[in-house]
Amino acid sequence: MFMMLMTIMMASMISIIMMMMCTVISKSSKKDKEKLSPFECGFDPMSSARTPFSIQFFLIAVLFLIFDIEIAILLPIIMTMKLSLSKTWIFTMTSFILVLIMGLYHEWNNGVLEWAK
């Protein structure tokens, strides 16, 4: 018990000393001009970081994220098939997949999936 207490105290002391040393060292270089300038592969930036991007690309990326999360939700539902009632499980899966299909149809109707117009 004493050995465990000593180990915990020693680890805490080392951590505290390291944190104090880091704060002392970092205070001298906080206002460095090079650290405040933007970094782009070691060179000065060629253009502004606020350039516009394609909203279509953003919508496709969001669509991908949504379907990626839906797959992550579907996989554990398959494992619960053994534990739940078959009618309840079928109703849950059918309604979930129906909502996905309706969302995909809505995005298709609004033209989100058309890359080139």
pLDDT at 34: 62
Cα(18)–Cα(10) distance, rounded to whole angstroms? 12
* Predicted TM-score (pTM) of this structure: 0.46
Say if CB 96 and CB 74 are below 8 A apart.
Answer: yes
Cα(73)–Cα(83) distance, rounded to whole angstroms? 17
Does 87 have pLDDT greater than 80? Answer: yes
The pLDDT tens digits for 35-68 are: 666 665 655 556 666 667 777 777 778 888 888 8
The pLDDT tens digits for 2-41 are: 899 999 999 999 999 999 998 888 765 556 666 666 665 6
